[in-house]
Amino acid sequence: MQNKTCRKSSSCPQNFKDQRYLIRCLLVCTALFSCGCASSYSSQGVKYSGKNTKIYTPLPIRVHEDKLVQMLETISNLLGTGYHYGGESIRGFDCSGFVQYIYKDTFKAHLPRTSRQLSKIGAKISPEKLKRGDLVFFRLNSSQIDHVGIYLDRNLFAHASSSRGVTMGNLDNRYYKKRFVKAVRLLEITASSRQ
């Protein structure tokens, strides 16, 4: 039962006159935290929520340059693999599933699943400074980022196209040039491990 003198007393904080109000606030805060509405950030700035409990590989991902050759071999073997919305295996890929597969297979890295989520991690770089393994992002069908590919060399990138499956595109192509949004670097390349 509430003390009537507390309502009129100046010693009670104005916002917490009613104890039920305080309890309701605590319950709402607890509910928000347990439902995943509140979020936190990793040391790389990757946003994690209670709903997304996957642990992603810390950035930058440090790899030897010979791993880039392995990445090219894997991509080469996957060229022509069909498109499948939500696909992330050799049975079929969507664009972010393809990126996720390559990074997991080659670098043992765990990345966010969607192109939009991927675009929020890593170090943003200018198109002139692209290196093999960088991610390139596009707006193909919406006002937001909805497509991602892996930069190869000489403005070529590998991606999973909804019409052609795993294929290569060219950043100089008018279609991609017009829709290019940004590029990010997730890798830190070290000297070859083969001596």
Break the chain into its structural domains and give their ranges: 4-49, 61-190
Tens digit of each residue's pLDDT (9 = 90 or more) over 52-69: 557 899 999 999 999 999
Selection from 151, 146, 152 nearest residue 179 by Cα? 146
Q: Which residues are known to be catalytic?
A: 95, 147, 159
Q: Which two tokens stand for residue 146?
A: 């909805």
Q: How far apart are CA 46 and CA 119, in angstroms?
A: 10
pLDDT digits (tens, 9 = 90+) for 138-178: 999 989 999 999 999 999 999 999 999 999 999 999 999 99
Residue with tokens 């606030």: 25
Q: Is the peptide bond before 13 cis (omega within 30 degrees of 0)?
A: no
In the CATH scheme, what is the code of domain 61-190? 3.90.1720.10
What pLDDT score was predicted for residue 191? 80
Per-residue pLDDT tens for 68-113? 999 999 999 999 999 999 999 999 999 999 999 999 999 999 999 9
| pTM, to two decimals | 0.72
